[in-house]
Amino acid sequence: MGWGLQKMYFSQKSGERYSITYALDSTHADLLIFGSSRASHHYIPTVFKDSLQLTCFNTGKDGEGISYNYALLLGIVSRYKPSYILLDISEGSFYKKRASPDNLVAFMPYFNTGHSALREIVVKRNQFEKLKLFSAIYPYNSTLISSLKGINNNQPDNLSGYLPLYGHLNIGTLPVLSNQSKNEIDSDKIEDLTNFIHVCKSYHIRLYILQSPVFMIESNGPAFAVLNNLLVNEGVPFFNFSGYLNTSDYFKDAAHLNNEGAQLYSKMLAGLIKNRH
Amino acid sequence: MLLASCYFYMSFIPVYILILGFTIVIDYVAGIYLEKFSGKKRKYFLIASLIANIGVLAVFKYYNFFIDNFNSLGSWWGMQGNLPYLGIILPIGLSFHTFQAMSYTIEVYRGNQKAEKHFGIYSLYVMFYPQLVAGPIERPQNLLHQFREKHLFNYDRVLAGLKLMTWGLFKKVVIADRLSLYTDAVYNNPSQHGGLTIILATIFFAFQIYCDFSGYSDMAIGSARVMGFDLMTNFKMPYFSRSIGEFWKRWHISLSTWFKDYLYIPLGGNRVAVSRIYFNLLLVFMISGIWHGANWTFVVWGALNGVYLVVEMLFQKVKPPFLNQPKIKETGWYIVTSTLLTFTLTCIAWVFFRATSVADAGLLLKNALQFNHAFFSDKTTLSYGFAGLLFLVLIERNMEKRKSSLPFECKHWWLNQWLYISLIILILMIGVFDGGQFIYFQF
């Protein structure tokens, strides 16, 4: 059964899981984009490609944070060295949460396909992972539906990982925001960000850390100061665009730009990077 | 076995074993003296034991809650309410441990149970690791004697225990933890969701908490069975109940019967005036609510269930006689309507149980009636969640008919084993392994 699930998993031609496989095993893009759903919905690779004359791939994944991105980076640099990385972060993701959004188990299918560095990270996080990995089925846990969808979709992924959102923000449904300052900063995530920066430095990859636009949410909690200090100390360029495009027309919801907003944001950012180099 | 239980408990916060040690010594000594003395002295020993147990609970579980409310009340009256909080983590399963300990001293006091002279056996009774942290809350008459008996290896018992553990694990990781992905996303952001999303999240939570808790109970009962011990049944397919009264006879049976035996009946039970019965019911359910956690949400949850029961009793008196006819009660429409109504009422109460504050619960109930929010569609979770729920309902319907605690009992040996192997494969394939804790561990 494990063999069958493996075959199905690696036969996908589109979708989120396919993007992970492509990022780990195939891409040779000059510029890689890392982050959560805000990365996958905000950064359009074709815009960067046209403006910077660099090949580009967006590895952003819904619901994932810095721990996922750090693990993915390790998996990628073990194969090739990209020239540029844009890492999208949001201050809110650096607080401790009841359920960690980082889904490192997303990397389990790759343990037996030459990505031992990923295995070490995942196994370190949970003492029982080693035991569960005796099963050939477990690495493909919860992949059945996405595999079936990815296999049946004959349309190849030509957006290079970008997932456009359509429609506009309904201001009437805006959330009442909780006070982040009550939450504790997650030191593991700060450590993962530090490690991410160090890996980029050791491979001489030009790293830009960005906070992409959000609608009427201020990023001024205690984690913001910690992040700012860290990035200043590490000498990494940090651009906070959280207040950019603050019009509901460009947003799908409070945390995500729609396709129109993503186009404007990507063009602006590509211009900025072009001017710096 | 006692050493294993100590190791099990100490793997959380080792020093907390001293808290259990404190109550164990007091209850063990109290038990011996309760048997030795007669008259008023016995009462003093019982009171000492109850104070020790409730005192431990009050300090570790309720102190900060009382201080919080006291400070808030002080501020409300214009005083500076700044009494200090205790910076402690609630010892895991403390409520279960203290209730099981209290059932021992009360039963010895009542003369239904002989005092246990062997300190190790008594300690094991209140620390038996399969049920130490989340029940079932055992009675001394059922469990203590089993620790004195010889338990030889019994293949059938071991197999039955493993099967029950597998079913419990399936309910926990395939259903409960999957549904929690949806309920957590909604209940942790109550202002962002409305209408159908909140209704669905609440239905999901009803099944999440059932599969989480009954899954743990199955694993506890199953693992005890593997070792040769019989623990009491804790759940009997509660969502097939046709009334709130029936629901409470099927849900968390070990706690419901504890409150009935040690609180409701001593308060007068059904032998007092009707108005007093109603009052007692409300009181017992409110105490049952606060037993679950130091938060007003649990008090409201308990009170709401008490109100449901009182209304149900009142309705029994005024409902048309034809509704009491056995023929009517067995018709399809009666069964479906009463089951759905009971489930709906239970779900409304679960909103308070799951919400982080009474204000959040109010907001969720209000928003549940507003359908202008977008539906939160997490397709993967919804697909696996609905498939799991359908499977659960079909299997439990069959278990209800067979009056069995095991999901599969086929005549063909090979088919039976294959079905359990399929459960294990499903656990590995679609279970959620994010280390999600059991909900009732916090109580």
Q: Which residue of B has its CA nearest to A128?
A: B435
**Per-residue confidence (pLDDT) for residue A94, from 0 to 100:** 83
pTM for the complete prediction? 0.83
Amino acid identity for residue B170 in this structure: F
Q: Among all chains, which residue has been given the structure tokens 């990209």?
A: A82
Report the alpha-carbon distance of residue B31 to residue A109 in Å, rounded. 57
Question: Could you tell me the two tokens for A241?
Answer: 């665009």
Residue A57 DSSP one-character state: E
CB B158 within 8 A of CB B415: no
Among candidates B52, B50, B139, B156, which has minimal Cα distance to B103?
B139
Taking a C-beta distance cutoff of 8 angstroms, is the pair A245, A262 a contact?
A: no
Q: Is 70 exceeded by the pLDDT of residue B439? A: no
Q: pLDDT tens digits, residue range B245-279?
A: 999 999 999 999 999 999 999 999 888 999 999 99
Average pLDDT over residues A107-121: 80
Residue A100 to residue B432, Cβ atoms within 8 A: no
Q: Give the distance from residue B429's alpha carbon to the nearest chain A alpha carbon, in angstroms.
A: 4
- Locate the chain A residue with the closest alpha carbon to B371: A173
Alpha-carbon distance values, B1 to A177, A208, B179 (Å): 50, 57, 35
pLDDT of residue B395: 95
Please state, in angstroms and rounded to a whole number, the distance separating the CA atoms of residues A11 and B328: 56
Q: Are A175 and B372 within 8 A, CB to CB?
A: no
Which of B373, B99, B147, B128 is CA-nearest to residue B261?
Answer: B99
Which has the higher per-residue pLDDT, A151 or B443?
A151
Residue type, B138: E
B75 falls in which pLDDT band (50, 70, 90)?
Answer: confident
Look at residue B288 in the predicted model and tell me its pLDDT: 94
* Among candidates B184, B372, B436 on the partner chain, residue whose Cβ is nearest the Cβ of A172: B372
**Nearest chain A Cα distance for residue B353, angstroms:** 17
Q: Mean per-residue pLDDT for A25-43?
A: 93
Residues 177-196, chain B, touching A (beta carbon < 8 A): 180, 184, 188-189, 191-192, 194
Residues of A with CB under 8 A from a CB of B: 1, 5, 98-100, 103, 105, 126, 132, 135, 137-138, 140-142, 144-146, 170, 172-173, 175-176
User: CA nearest B183 in A: which residue?
Assistant: A99
Look up residue A103 and give its two tokens. 């889904």
Task: Give dist(CA B235, CA B136) in Å, integer.
Answer: 10
CA separation for the pair A46, A162 (Å, rounded): 9
Q: How many residues does chain A have?
A: 277
Domain range annotation of chain A: 2-276
pLDDT given for residue A244 in this prediction? 86
pLDDT at B321 over 90: no
Contact residues, chain A, for B373 at CB < 8 Å: 173
Non-local CB neighbours of A267 within 8 Å, separated by 6+ positions: A47, A51
pLDDT of residue A41: 94
Please report which confidence band the pLDDT of residue B442 belongs to, taking 50, 70 and 90 as the band edges. low
pLDDT at position A173 over 60: no
Is A89 a residue whose pLDDT tops 70?
A: yes
Mean pLDDT for the stretch of residues A45-69:
91
Contacts of A172 (CB under 8 A, 6+ apart): B372
Q: Mean pLDDT over residues A66-71, rounded?
A: 90
Contact with chain A for residue B434, Cβ under 8 A: yes
How many whole angstroms separate alpha carbon A3 and alpha carbon A16? 21
A199, containing H or E segment: helix A187-202
- Tell which CATH architecture fits domain A2-276: 3-Layer(aba) Sandwich (3.40)
Task: Report yes or no: B127 and B6 within 8 Å, Cβ to Cβ.
Answer: yes
User: Would the ipTM clear 0.90, i.e. be above it?
Assistant: no
Residues of B acting as catalytic residues? 292
Q: Mark yes or no for CB contact B430/A141 under 8 Å.
A: yes
pLDDT at A218: 61
How far lies B228's CA from each of B2, B143, B150, B192, B231, in Å?
15, 12, 9, 50, 10
Residue in B380, B426, B441, B442 to test binding to A, most A beta-carbons within 10 Å? B380
Reported as a pLDDT band with limits 50, 70 and 90, residue B394 is very high
Contact between A141 and B431 using a beta-carbon 8 Å cutoff: yes
pLDDT, residue A152, reads 77
Q: DSSP 3-state assignment of A162?
A: coil
Comparing C-alpha atoms, which of B32, B100, B90 is closest to residue B61? B90
Q: Is B430's Cβ below 8 Å from some Cβ in A?
A: yes
pLDDT band at A65 (very low <50, low <70, confident <90, very high): confident
Q: What is the DSSP string of A61-128?
A: -TT--HHHHHHHHHHHHTT---SEEEEE--GGGGB--SS----GGGGGGGTTTT-HHHHHHHHHH-TT
* Among A109-118, A153-162, B265-274, the least confident range: A153-162
A210-255 tens-digit pLDDT: 999 988 766 667 888 888 888 889 999 899 888 888 788 898 888 8
CA distances from B142 to B61, B127, B146 (A): 28, 15, 8
